[in-house]
Structures are given as C-alpha cells and as structure tokens.
Amino acid sequence: MTATPLAPTLVYTVPRSSSMRPGRILLYVILSLALVYYAIPLLLVISTSLKTAEELRNGNIFTLPQSLNFDAWTKAWMTACTGIECNGIHGNFWNSVEIVVPSVILSILFGALTGFALSQWQSKLSRVILLSLMLGAFIPYKVILYPLVRIFSSVGLYGTLPGIILIHIIFGLPYMALLFFNFYQGVPPELSKAAKMDGAGFFTIFFEIMLPMSVNVLVVAIIMQATGIWNDFLLGLIFAGRDHLPMTVQLNNIVNTTTGVKEYNVNMAATFLTALPPLLIYILSGRYFARGLAAGAVKG
C-alpha cells in the first residue's frame, strides 16, 4: 500500500468523558482482578524461591523474603536431587533446548510447506487432506499415545532424541499447516503465477517469495511451538528416554523427591527457572504476536 497521510478528520481522538463512564470503571476493575489473579502465584513463586530454609520455617507463604538470596536458585540449577543423583536441572535445561530448537524449526518448516502446497493446489484430494489435518489438530493426543509408542519402539526411535523430535513435529504439523494455509490463501495468487512465469519452481517460490512475506505468521508459529514444546510434559516423559528428559519432567522429579524436609524454596526456584524461557518469549515477542494473530484473523 502507498503510505497516504491520514486526513485530519480521520485521526482518532479519545473522547474526554469516556474515562468517567461506569462501563469504563467496571472494565478497569475486572482487568485489575484478572491481573491480581494471574500475578499472585507467579509473585509467590519468586518470593518463596528467594527465602532461606529458616525463613520458610518461621514465616507463612505471604511474608516477603528478608534479603535477595539466590542460594535456592543455584541449588535448583546445580545440585537439587532426584533420588540418588544430585545434578539439579541444568542438564535437563539443555535437553529441553536440544528438543525444542529442532522441533520448532522443523515443525514450522514442514507445516509452512504443507500449508503453501495446499493453498496452491486446489482439488478434491487437497480438500480431503485439509479436512484430515483439521481433524488431526483436534484429536486429543492421549488417544493415540499407545499405538505411537508401539510404532516408535518397533522402528527403534522410542526413547531417543530423534524420536521425541519427530513426535513433536508430527503433533505440531496439523496446526502449523492450517495456520500457514490460512495465511497463504490470503496471498494474491498472481504472486506465485508471476514467479512461475519468471521460471521459478515450487521451492524457489516458497523460500524466496512466500516465506519472506510470512514474518508475522512465523513469529506466531515460533511462539506457539516453542512455548508448547517447552511446556510439554507427557510426551517428554514417555518418548524422550532417560538421557533426554526435558526440564519439565526433571522439575516434577525434583518436586516429588522427598528426602527429609521439603525444600519449597528450591522447588519454587526450579519451577521459575523452568517457566522462564516461555515467559521471556512472550514478553519479548508480544508485539509481533498480536500483529501476527491480527493478520491471520483478517485473512481467515
């Protein structure tokens, strides 16, 4: 679009009286309640993780820590115990990274390719595929866990890193394909026709023209996949195998290991450390996320 200067009459001005209306007040009350509702658990996690064992024994959960004490964080990261091993969760942090990075990249790549192919290829068969993808996106995966375990163990992928990555790609594919299909459907068909006339093949069109246009959708896809896969517990527990357990599973192991007094501060620190990456992704990319979702909404 050409950037046309906005006519003065089109500039949106906030009516002054609106801040006084009862509806407005109610809105802020509800928003504040929601804020408190979501923020309190997080703040409690942080505050508890900063306390010493002493403070934990003497105070209740709402008392504030007396100083900024990161001992619990270090312990959670390096030496927290599960059973007889006391290595903290740092190893599993890297396990999670190893799982998340390839899973996110590959599931988005294949999803985008599938979405693009389906948007280009309009036929009865492509509609059948689209419909089955939609079904795939809505089937709860617990239903097919057992057959998947059998299939994966029969081809030797069960309990391996490629295995868990493949699982995440498979479960991510339907939703990613639909997301990108939706976007590419809104792209004028002349673009790929023009590229075809220029001599470009399917992959050239995809990588050189379509993918660079999809930045907003890519950001949404990355956020959804990265947080989803990072937060996954069940698939990691079942398919990753002992050597590749993701952070979420290790967190559970640490929290559930009881030897002596429960170290709530360490548990909270481990929880916070595990939740931190998705939290950072949301905060850093919130702007793109909203933009991308809006773009998808208009096109869909």
Partner 1 sequence: MTQISVIEANKSFGPQHILRDINLHVDSGEFIVLLGSSGCGKSTLLNVIAGLEDLDTGRIIAGDQDVTNVDSSRRNMSMVFQSYALYPTMTVRRNLGFGLRVNKVPKAEIAKRVEWAANLLQLTPLLDRRPSQLSGGQRQRVAIGRALVRRSPVCLFDEPLSNLDAKLRTEMRLEIKKLHQELRSTIVYVTHDQIEAMTLATRVAVMKGGKIEQYATPDELYEKPETLFVAGFVGSPSMNLLSACIHIEDGEPMAIFGDRQLPIDAYPFRQPAVNGQEIVIGFRPEEVQLADDRTTLPTLFAPITFIEPMGADTLVWFAFGEQKFSVRLPSAKARGLSGEVRLAFNASSASIFSKESEQRL
Q: Contact region for partner 1 (CB under 8 A) — 82-90, 102-110, 197-205, 224-232?
A: 197-205
Q: Is 209 in the site for partner 1 (CB under 8 A)?
A: yes
User: Dihedral of CA 278/279/284/286: which sign?
Assistant: positive
- The enclosing H or E element of 204 equals helix 202-204
Tokens 């905060």 locate to 283
Nearer to partner 1, 264 or 288 (CB): 288
Note whether 201 binds partner 1 by CB under 8 A.
Answer: yes
Termini Cα distance of the chain: 20
Assigned token pair, 65: 């820590």
- Give the count of alpha carbons within 13 A of 7, CB side only: 2
Is position 5 an interface residue for partner 1 (rule: CB under 8 A)? no
What does the per-residue mask of binding to partner 1 show for 170-189, with x meaning CB under 8 A? ------------------x-
Angle at 287 between CA 281 and CA 289, to 5 degrees: 65
| Among the listed residues 99, 167, 177, 195, the single contact to partner 1 using CB under 8 A | 195
Closest CA relative to residue 234, chosen from 250, 219, 249, 218: 249
39 binds partner 1 (CB under 8 A): no
Region binding partner 1 by CB under 8 A among candidate stretches 19-27, 53-61, 72-80, 194-202: 194-202
With tokens 């956020």, the residue in question is 223
- Residue 204 in the binding site for partner 1 (CB under 8 A): yes
Out of 6, 11, 68, 197, the only residue in the binding site for partner 1 (CB under 8 A) is: 197
In the three-class reduction of DSSP (H, G, I as helix; E, B as strand; rest coil), residue 262 is classed as coil
**Residues within the interface to partner 1 (CB under 8 A):** 1-3, 188, 190-191, 193-201, 204, 208-209, 212-213
